[in-house]
Structure 1
């Protein structure tokens, strides 16, 4: 059995000393890099399945590593960073990172994010046509949405927003990505507009809209659709 390979990019020796045995124990093959240049070389030559990337590297900003990787690779990237500014997280996600974990962190949380990234990677060769979660069903071939067997009426924009989130289940999708993808670049700053539509969607699809479980808020960053069982062709 071939182990999934994780590339850990961080210049803090204590982080590397902690993560290698922890991830090995979780069943992963671990590669390590301490600079952006080393990370780019390892990504090109060692074919990792997931990259865990610190933003504060000695030779370049981690966001530049993300941008360069996304020029030729769709390897899932999880940002691991102590930077507290939301703008840093948002910039990395908008450049193509899949998720982020803040330092200090727990290995359990990081392992869960890795599993999500691997599941998403396994689905990239197909486009989901049927998505199910907690009684909610989305049929993208027929453009039908149902809750517990009953059809839900959505506006075209509500439907597009829901499908975009659902196809990135388990991943953070930033406000900017949602706004530009559904409404176009001219609306990338219309955050209140997005909040209204998210609120409308929650009223229609959540069992308890006041405590949403399917569409979760990532404060200051965007939204995350809960993990779901998907099928497609």
Structure 2
């Protein structure tokens, strides 16, 4: 079971998030002050910390810095600050995700689930789908379709791997760009569409009715393969 620590001074917010996460099977602990959160962190083993930046006793940024001195635990920052400079600062001091309020508990729960899917996937180098029809080897950066090697460009592989890790979750072009190219990408966001088109030609039986890379109109793309157990 994955342990999650919520450090949030609004008790009602913590209670709602806690309820949603516990429905997914996580063990959730809450602290309303930064120092209380640090004390809990030092006493227990957590796999994720959801950290509000506006705390009554110490800034969330300082809490993050303290944690990063000794741990690489995943940290989601929650804040009302929406400027790009604030996001960059948060990522630079050690946040894994920087989420702006108001954020729906359903979206946050989906992001937490996606995180732990990625963590679980990283325990193995091979992702396999549909009884071995499609295999993606992270370490070798190779793809097998029906046992045959499929040659992908680096960006095509990264897009496919990112979608596969977030199986079932819809990713916008902006999210794919951030994951594949980084936040400093200054190109044309339709670049993703070009790579998606080329990927479909290579891995889909019929690119017009794709099985793996599915378009969600006006939102983005999601991966439709069924993970092999």
- TM tier, shorter chain? 0.5 to 0.7
Aligned 8 A contact 1:4 1:49 in 2: yes
Larger deviation: 36-45 or 158-167? Answer: 158-167
Distance 1:214 1:90, change over 3 A: farther
SS in 2 for 1:191: coil
1:230 to partner: Cα distance:
6.5
Q: CA deviation at 1:28?
A: 3.6
1:69-90 Cα distance to aligned partner (Å, 9 max, x none): 3343232322333323344334
Q: Counterpart of 1:129? A: 126
Q: How does 1:216-231 map to 2 (within 5 A)?
A: none
For the residue of structure 1 that corresponds to 2:16, the secondary structure is helix
Distance 1:201 1:17, change over 3 A: same
Q: How does 1:144-183 map to 2 (within 5 A)?
A: 144-145=142-143, 152-155=150-153, 157-158=154-155, 161-162=158-159, 165=162, 169=166, 178-179=180-181
Q: 1:52–1:79: 8 Å Cα contact kept in structure 2?
A: yes
Q: Structure 2 length as normaliser, TM-score?
A: 0.63
Q: Distance in 2 between matches of 1:227 and 1:72?
A: 38
The yes-or-no answer on 1:78 pairing with 2:76 is yes
Partner of 1:202: 196
What is the alpha-carbon root mean square deviation over aligned residues? 4.5
Hey, what's the Cα distance between the residues in 2 that align with 1:94 and 1:225? 28
Tell me how far 1:190 sits from its aligned partner.
Answer: 4.7
Q: Is 2:186 the partner of 1:191?
A: yes
Confirm or deny: 8 A CA contact 2:159 2:176 kept in the other structure.
no
Aligned length: 212
Task: Report the CA distance shift for 1:141/1:24 in structure 2 as closer, same or farther (over 3 A).
Answer: closer
TM-score (norm 1): 0.62
**SS of equivalent to 2:115:** helix
1:104 to partner: Cα distance: 2.7
Structure 2 partner of 1:99: 97
Over residues 205-232 of structure 1, what are the superposed CA-to-partner deviations in whole Å (9 max), with x where a residue is unaligned?
Answer: 2457xxx95799xx9xxx998597668x
Q: Do the aligned partners of residues 33 and 224 (structure 1) sit closer, same or farther apart at CA in structure 2, a change above 3 Å counting?
A: farther
Unpaired segments ≥5 residues, structure 2: 201-206
Relative contact order (C-alpha < 8 Å, sep 6+): which is higher? 1
1:55 is matched with which residue?
53
Q: Distance in 2 between matches of 1:26 and 1:150?
A: 37
Distance 1:33 1:111, change over 3 A: same
